[in-house]
Amino acid sequence: MDPKLAVAGYACIESILQVSALPDVGGRVTEDQHPSRPGGRAGNAAIAVARLGVDPLLCATLGDDADGKRLFQFYADNGVGQYSVKFLPSKRTGREYLIYETYCDAVRRLVYPGAADELMLPQITSALDAFPDGLYITTELPFDIVCQAARHAATKGIPVFLDALPVNSRMQLELLPPLELFIIDRPGAEVVAKCGKITVENCLRAAVVIAKRVEAKYYVIRLPGQGFFVYDGKFHNIIAPEGVLTAPGKIACPVDTEGAALTAAYLLTEDIRRSCTIAAIGSRLAREDNGITIATRQQIQEYCRNHDLSLKR
């Protein structure tokens, strides 16, 4: 039986604005592509884990409009459990604009959360009452809800996988219960650890500082293009699978799907090293597919077969 993972956060429509460069003040840039797709960190995460073979229980709120119905059908078609998805007739479905500047490989997000901002704790706890094998949650939600949801999961013995994305210096991370995985990207780790610019050489110092604020089995710092730094309170390692981190194309896999892939792989394999490798494979395949951000289980399995890796326990 596939493991189950409760996924809580934003689900919305994502519009991709790919531009050569942002215009100066008063200037103008003309482009001919403006694709839209399902998005939001929780929505993307739910699809990512489903395509890896984990059964996601999505906790999210949608507007009772055409976009909301489109998203609901998309999740149903992709094997996402939706009994914790609610429609709000008084709100519009949220929308994100992903602005990608091709000349410098920079990505910016404009978020209009709409109904997505109305996710409340009871929706998350109802999913946890089904006793999933884990809770994946990001800090895009109000931090008090993140803490309460994590504590509720902990009281039920459900492992919590926290993706600290986004993060700011005001978050009282000390209020969190013990976590299974604490995942953070390099800029976020610099904010939390307050130890200056993080490099491969000084990751351990940052991880030790973070470990004083957050209790977790594993601390994972994402290092784009360099792999993952993993620390368990005693030992540390940089997991940079050879031949995986470099690939053609510039558009990198968004860190929301990468963190979700890492979580799903961990549930499947119970091996942090293999999980990081699988997440890195997902990023590589996304770049090879010109920005398709969620690799399928079949794609990753084929890559694993070709490189003597496995998703199985």
Cα 86 to Cα 37, 75, 89, 196, distances in angstroms: 20, 13, 10, 42
Q: Which of 34, 47, 43, 46 is nearest to 100 (CA)?
A: 34
**243: phi then psi, degrees, rounded to nearest 5:** 80, -5
Helices (H), 63-142: 66-77, 121-128
- Looking at residue 201, its pLDDT comes to 84
What's domain 4-22+33-306's superfamily in CATH? Ribokinase (3.40.1190.20)
- Looking at residue 246, its pLDDT comes to 54
Reduced to 3 states, what is the DSSP secondary structure of residue 168? coil
How far is Cα 148 from Cα 98, in angstroms, rounded to an integer? 30
- pTM for this structure? 0.91
- Looking at residue 257, its pLDDT comes to 84
**148: phi then psi, degrees, rounded to nearest 5:** -65, -45
Q: Which of 218, 159, 220, 155 is nearest to 186 (CA)?
A: 220
- Looking at residue 114, its pLDDT comes to 94
As given in the structure block, the two tokens for residue 77 are: 């078609």
Amino acid at 45: A
- Looking at residue 228, its pLDDT comes to 93
How far is Cα 141 from Cα 282, in angstroms, rounded to an integer? 25
Q: From first to last of the 313 residues of the chain, give the pLDDT tens digit.
A: 789 999 999 999 988 888 888 888 888 877 777 778 888 889 989 988 998 889 999 999 999 999 999 999 999 998 898 778 999 998 999 998 888 887 776 778 888 999 999 999 999 999 999 999 999 999 999 999 999 999 999 999 999 999 998 898 899 999 999 999 999 999 999 999 988 888 888 899 999 999 999 999 999 999 877 889 999 999 999 987 766 665 444 444 455 688 999 999 999 999 999 899 888 888 777 766 655 566 777 888 888 788 776 665 5
How far is Cα 262 from Cα 275, in angstroms, rounded to an integer? 5
- Looking at residue 216, its pLDDT comes to 98
**304: phi then psi, degrees, rounded to nearest 5:** -65, -40
Whether the link from the prior residue into 166 is cis, omega within 30° of 0, is yes
